[in-house]
Amino acid sequence: MNFNLDKAIEIANRAVLTKFYRNLTDIEIIVIKGACEREGYDKIAAKNKYATSYISQDVAPKLWKILTEALGEKVKKSNFQEALKRFMNKQFIDEYCLASPQLITINNLKCNGKLKKSPSPTYFSPDKQYLATSELYVERFAIEFLCYEILLQPGSLIRVKASKLMGKTSLMERVLAKIGKEGYRRVSLSLEMADRQTHLTNLNKFLRWFCLNLSRELKLPNQLDQYWDEEGMGAKVSCTTYLEEYLLAAEESPLVLYLDDVDALFPYPEVYEDFFGLLRSWYEKARTRLNWKKLRLAIAHATDVYIRLNINQSPFNVGLPIELPELTQEEVQVFAQQYGLAEDSSLVDSLMQLVGGHPYLLQQAFSHLKIYPDMTLEKLLAEASTDAGIYRHHLREYWLSLQYEPTLMTAFQAVIHSPKPVRVEPISAYQLQSMGLVKLIGNEVEPRCQLYHNYFKGVFEVDLSRK
């Protein structure tokens, strides 16, 4: 098997996820990259603007300890690549020949063409089958089932709305997996992957990028040059022809096209006006024309649609809207149980007072408590809103993002300093909601959770005192 830097990170992340139910953090990935390139801790720290002692005495030792437990052998900076290779080779065999009792639905498994008997009958919910290879997930059965049922219908379109880190992608991955069992073809494409300077300032370049990625996801050869005629037909007709006459026609099975992060286009009217008009036209065709009925559309965005669109050319006022809410207390309790943390009923209450039903923030807390049994809930909560807490990197990323957006910074300061929900300029409100920092209360906004309020109140006060 080919083994490179990306493969090393992928295998390490998979091992940690399977063992500890969390992904590698950004700083852990930085250490792995540096170790792969045979860099010393001092160079890794200097390149990424960290203190050497933080890397060498804190991050690295904890990382090698975690990998030691995850890979099942002693891991250190000098041998971790070989350890990952051994783990990868073992997993290559095990993942097809063995199954965890809680993940299996049948008593007979085929391994290398032979039937392998499981020791005893076992049962599970079909939606838990991805537990071993993805983040722990709280099933939202009603929403998943609704999305699934709608996408089975010809000419369907669903619109999933939720702020970042709320689980849109995880939800749709499960829906698409179920759709795949019906023989449907599936494409999942995040529009955030388009290069801002290259693709998002020119409609023709964006649509070619879009079609090229559809081909790649469907494992079809690139045939753009045979169908594209920008000067004669124009980019929009070329794109539509490519979809209809090549991608849809390639097989008889229906095609579900899931576009994530479509709000990445909102700052680029030279692209979004025509592209969203195209999506709307495809939706109309799929409802009325036989050869288009194979197409089903799903789009996801993180905020309300604040851009100007012709009502008859917008995909945001047709189809089925789905808004992904925070987890309920019962769902958070289930989440805690998946980490083996359900004994103390006060755990869920205390965490929800700090972060509400935010899936990502809850997952970070549960994961940390699982990995470090000596960490008390009281200590975690006391440090959570500080630079010593488990959310420090997450909070600093928000802080850095705000520093590049003075208008948003000013609006968010008003939100943090107000004792009650406050009205801010609508575009700022939508953008802050998209980032996940605030929630809308009618026409007003308030901090998304107590964690954000506490952290940024302190940060803004320190920033003000320096001026």
pLDDT in tens, 132-176: 333 456 778 888 889 999 999 999 999 998 888 888 888 999 999
Q: CA-CA distances (angstroms) from residue 366 to 219, 331, 341? A: 38, 14, 8
Give me the pLDDT at residue 104, please.
23
Beta bridge partners of 116: 109
The CB-based long-range contact list for 327-331 (8 Å cut-off, 24+ gap) reads 327/138, 327/357, 327/358, 327/359, 327/362, 328/357, 329/357, 331/138, 331/140, 331/357
Beta bridge partners of 158: 298, 320
pLDDT band at 290 (very low <50, low <70, confident <90, very high): confident
Note the pTM of the prediction, 2 decimals. 0.65
Copy the structure tokens of residue 437: 């920092």
Query: Where is pLDDT greater, at 112 or 19?
Result: 19
What rounded mean pLDDT belongs to the chain?
83
Residue 254 DSSP symbol: -
- 32: which residues sit within 8 A by CB, 6+ positions away? 8, 9, 12, 24, 63, 80
Mean pLDDT of 230-259: 94
Copy the structure tokens of residue 404: 């590049």
Contact 170, 137 (CB under 8 A): yes
Q: CA-CA distances (angstroms) from residue 370 to 13, 30, 374, 377? A: 17, 23, 9, 11
- Nearest Cα to Cα of residue 63 among 26, 10, 37: 26
- Nearest Cα to Cα of residue 411 among 401, 397, 426: 426
Mean pLDDT of 432-438: 88
pLDDT in tens, 164-199: 888 888 899 999 999 999 999 999 999 999 998 889
- Nearest Cα to Cα of residue 257 among 289, 279, 229, 230: 279
